[in-house]
Amino acid sequence: MTGASTLARELRDTAQIVTRVAAGKSLASEFDRMAEEGSTSARGALIDLTHGTLRRYGRGQVIVGELSRHRRPDPPVEALLWCALYCLESGRYAHYTVVDQAVRACALLEKPGARGYVNAMLRGFVRQRKALEARISAEPEALYQHPQWWIDVVRTCYPGRWEDVLAAGNSHPPMCLRVNSRRTTTSAYGEELAERGMAARQVAEHALLLERPVPVERLPGFPSGKVSVQDAGAQRAAQCLDLAPGQRVLDACAAPGGKAAHILERCEVGLTALDADPARCAQMERNLDRLQLRASVRAADCTQLAAWWDGAPFDRVLADVPCSASGVARRHPDVKWLRRARDVPAFASRQTSILEALWRVLRPGGKLLYVTCSVFPQENDTVTDAFVASAPDALRIPLPDAGPAQWLPDAVHDGFYYALIEKKA
């Protein structure tokens, strides 16, 4: 728990990050920027405050609007109020502590004239909380904490489960481990965790779901590559690729490398891993080094074949394509602020281009696994169905794990979509 003496500074830093995210910056880039600037705020506290605040899309905005009679304050002050409201509702701090530290944060934000306003707004929330809850319950964005267009899409596509999908997007994500089968067994590693007082249950072949998240440095054998952190939904990729020793395998959008590493842990294959961002390629190589795994890592746009492909076809292609990330919003809560309805067809167009390019590098008889971390069908079945219909040598086949294509986010895993397409010989 953050001490009251540091809460004002952390509220300031969080408000600055949230202001930039609300203006269109990504949360990851903001943390990178703060690291470069040598911020003294504790990273763990900032992650909690930023993620907690950003997950509550709509709620903070509506509450501030109700209390201020819909007169919007300056963006940094409004963001500070959203952060303070999250602190008040988290139950971690006394009300007077949050109010006092938020008022102090005004000066740190160079907004000393807002102190009285922030004090009045937060005290008003504490006094009127029950009445406010009743008023905002009729506001879908405040109730479901997602943009209205997102709510509409999910409600239309999943009429029996839409509220569960949205609720999962607002929850704390589970922490799942991927046990390195080259180093140990899943059951043996589960026993190691139990010996250290960390309860976990097996949810897939190499997946252990922790009862409570822990810092990675507490995981036995993490530095030496015995285990990695990877969602159970993401671990489907290596299994659904239908791997065999000696195959040439392409991971076309590979960074940060979790799926690539799992492929190499499961099977002796020749792996080429691409990513368009050189910095992310460097990160991927560091992750592979930790696991003592080797791949040919290339910084390249997978659709620009002349820049990276030597003409030798691949037996398996993993197309983990860029997408809306709507299935992992709880891990990346800034996507609820950054995405627009128009982005979804734009992603679908890019995904189609990637499929068409990668199909050319797959040998006849080979298999391509199309993957997104999206729950929007326009990026999933719509893309794959149209591609298969347009390519006479493409055949969609059942997934090797016999599971459904779409996994919706729940208490065990995030939301992922998988489609396996075979190239007719």
Catalytic residue set: 373
Nearest to 382 by CA among 349, 359, 356: 349
Burial 251-264 (b: 16+ CB within 10 A, else e): bbbbbebbbbbbbb
CA–CA separation, 327 vs 129, rounded Å?
31
3-state secondary structure of 176: strand
**CA atoms within a 13 Å half-sphere pointing along the CA-CB vector of 363:** 12
| Cα angle: 244, vertex 248, 254; to 5 degrees | 100
Residue 228 Cα distances to 32, 235, 252, 274, 290, angstroms: 22, 11, 21, 20, 10
Q: What share of the chain is helix, strand, coil (3-state, %, to 5)?
A: 50, 15, 35
Q: At what angle do helices 59-67 and 115-136 cross, to 10 degrees?
A: 110
Q: Are strands 416-423 and 270-275 parallel, antiparallel or unpaired?
A: unpaired
Angle at 278 between CA 27 and CA 252, to 5 degrees: 90
How far apart, in Å, are the Cα atoms of 397 and each of 191, 374, 424?
37, 20, 11
| Cis peptide bond prior to 404, omega within 30° of 0 | no
Concatenated DSSP letters for 47-82?
Answer: HHHHHHHHHTTTHHHHHHHHHTTT----HHHHHHHH
Token pair 């391509």 is found at 368
Q: What is the Cα–Cα distance from 266 to 237, expressed in whole angstroms?
A: 11
Q: Which of 238, 211, 173 is nearest to 414 (CA)?
A: 173
Look at residue 4 and give its three-state secondary structure: helix
